Amino acid sequence: MHFFELRNIQHFVIYFFPSIVSVFLIGVALAHSHFKTRRSEEKKRKPRHTFPGGIEERNEPFPLILIFVIAGTVIWAFFYILIIGLRGVKI
């Protein structure tokens, strides 16, 4: 139990609104950013393979934000293991 009821609302605002903003920004980043080349628009329109039933497979570009997320995860994991190993912390 908190001494002040306002503190519950403050925690809600502190956690809820940044999460909504980050979900929105990641959605925009996934929708609109990828490497563009001369042939990227042509690749988007032209189907690579057509399956029975009219389902088409296309070559869509890989989103740039996912490249950054994967690279950041690998770099963080490397340095985390390195620092934990150098400090001699027992897991």
What is the secondary structure of the chain as a DSSP string?
Answer: --S-THHHHHHHHHHHHHHHHHHHHHHHHHHH-B---TTHHHHHHS-SEE-TTS-EE--PPPBHHHHHHHHHHHHHHHHHHHHHHHHT---
Check residue 48 and give its pLDDT. Answer: 76
* pLDDT tens per residue across span 46-88: 777 788 888 877 777 777 777 888 899 999 999 988 988 888 7
> Which pLDDT score, from 0 to 100, does residue 4 have?
62
What pLDDT sits at residue 71? 92
Residue 41 in this model has a pLDDT that exceeds 90: no
Report yes or no on whether pTM surpasses 0.75: no
CA-CA distance, 72 to 79, in Å (whole number)?
11
Tell me the CA distances in angstroms from 32 to 11, 29, 47, 76, 90, one per residue in order: 32, 6, 21, 26, 44
Q: Hey, where are the domains in the chain?
A: 6-87
Token pair for residue 36?
């563009």
